[in-house]
């Protein structure tokens, strides 16, 4: 299968043109935070590449065999809203399932099933992570994605259960936990069932740092588009880059979406012997159509 510009979901390096996710953040700083046992936040607007970055981090750490690193998406717990017990069950089960899928700790599923039968669900997450750390031969690095999709008492419980086990690291709790979402934890606004207002910062005051993923640089955009030229032989006109930068400012989804429009949406450009000029997209879409493409769904790019 020929590589192409990705506009949906995490990057697959075998299928997609891509910029190395670890190039897009200060990997030395991230490793220092992990090596020194810190809990921290990674946040960025939607469709910026957070999930791809976390998956790349997991792979890089596991290849070193120093840590057991695990990526988990916990967005499913949002569906149960303020039912803390059901949410904690879903979160624990998501951790166990991911540990099996990625081959990090296949035995965690059985341990979790036993916990669900014996442990009060409101404290199950602390117990699950504690018991996993005790049985693991390497310190655990846990990456929780879509944390800020949770609401109310569910989110408060998650943060406080992590905080409860913090002092036990690394022997009996993950050495490092990374919370990932659109917002920094200090910007979480939560209400308890009694309508008490609490901020994420006060519920998670063990946070050591907040790292924000940035958009592509102008050099990244050129490098990404050059991959298409290397793959297909099709050349982009040099004149496209200033306008492309002005329209996208390097926002990763927009850069990929425009690349897709230029190389596939524009049917004439499917002939790889032709230039792929940005002006064709502008002419075909018109000013209002191009703006719709650039805006996409405002909820996708909301900060």
Assign domain 21-212 to its CATH architecture.
3-Layer(aba) Sandwich (3.40)
Among 24-28, 100-104, 115-119, 170-174, the minimum mean pLDDT is found in: 115-119
Helix (H) or strand (E) holding 191: strand 189-191
How many whole angstroms separate alpha carbon 70 and alpha carbon 123? 21
Q: What angle do CA 301, 98, 5 make, to 5 degrees?
A: 40
pLDDT value of residue 202:
52
Instruction: Examine the pLDDT at 270 and tell me if it is beyond 80.
Output: yes
Whether pLDDT at 82 is above 80: no
Residue 303 is predicted with a pLDDT of: 41
Exposure on the CB side of residue 78, measured as CA atoms within 13 A? 10
Q: In the predicted model, what is the mean pLDDT of residues 248-255?
A: 91
In the chain, domain spans: 21-212, 218-301
φ/ψ of 40, rounded to 5, equals -150, 175
8-state DSSP, 171: T
Q: How confident is the model at residue 203 (pLDDT cuts 50, 70, 90)?
A: low
Strands (E), 31-162: 39-43, 68-73, 140-145
Structure token digits, residue 123: 């404290």
pTM of the full structure:
0.85
Write down the pLDDT at residue 111.
93
Contacts of 209 (CB under 8 A, 6+ apart): 29, 33, 38, 40, 41
Decide: residue 265, CB within 10 A, 0-12 exposed, 13-18 middle, 19+ buried: middle
- Return the higher-pLDDT residue of 45 and 41: 41
């Amino acid at each position: 299968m020929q590589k192409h510009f990705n506009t949906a979901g995490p990057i697959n390096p075998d299928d997609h043109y891509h910029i190395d996710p670890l190039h897009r953040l200060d990997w030395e700083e991230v490793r220092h935070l992990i090596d020194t046992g810190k809990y921290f936040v990674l946040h960025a607007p939607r469709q910026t590449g957070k999930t791809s970055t976390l998956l790349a981090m997991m792979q890089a750490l596991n290849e070193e065999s120093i840590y057991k690193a695990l990526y988990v998406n916990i967005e499913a717990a949002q569906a149960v809203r303020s039912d803390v017990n059901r949410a904690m069950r879903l979160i624990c089960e998501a951790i166990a399932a991911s540990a099996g899928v990625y081959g990090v700790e296949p035995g965690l599923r059985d341990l979790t099933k036993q916990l669900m039968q014996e442990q009060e669900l409101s404290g199950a997450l602390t117990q699950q992570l504690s018991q996993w750390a005790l049985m693991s031969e390497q310190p655990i690095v846990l990456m929780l994605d879509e944390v800020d999709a949770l609401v109310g008492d569910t989110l408060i419980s998650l943060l406080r259960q992590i905080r409860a086990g913090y002092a036990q690291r690394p022997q009996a709790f993950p050495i490092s936990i990374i919370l990932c979402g659109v917002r920094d934890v200090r910007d979480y606004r939560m209400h308890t069932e009694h309508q008490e207002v609490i901020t994420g910062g006060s519920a998670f005051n063990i946070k050591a740092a907040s790292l924000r993923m940035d958009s592509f640089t102008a050099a990244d955009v050129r490098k990404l588009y050059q991959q298409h030229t290397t793959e297909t032989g099709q050349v982009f006109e040099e004149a496209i880059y200033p306008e492309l930068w002005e329209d996208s400012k390097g926002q990763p989804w927009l850069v990929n979406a425009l690349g897709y429009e230029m190389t596939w949406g524009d049917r004439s450009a499917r002939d790889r012997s032709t230039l792929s000029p940005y002006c064709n997209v502008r002419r075909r879409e018109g000013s209002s159509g191009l703006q719709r493409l650039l805006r996409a769904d405002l909820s996708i790019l909301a900060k």
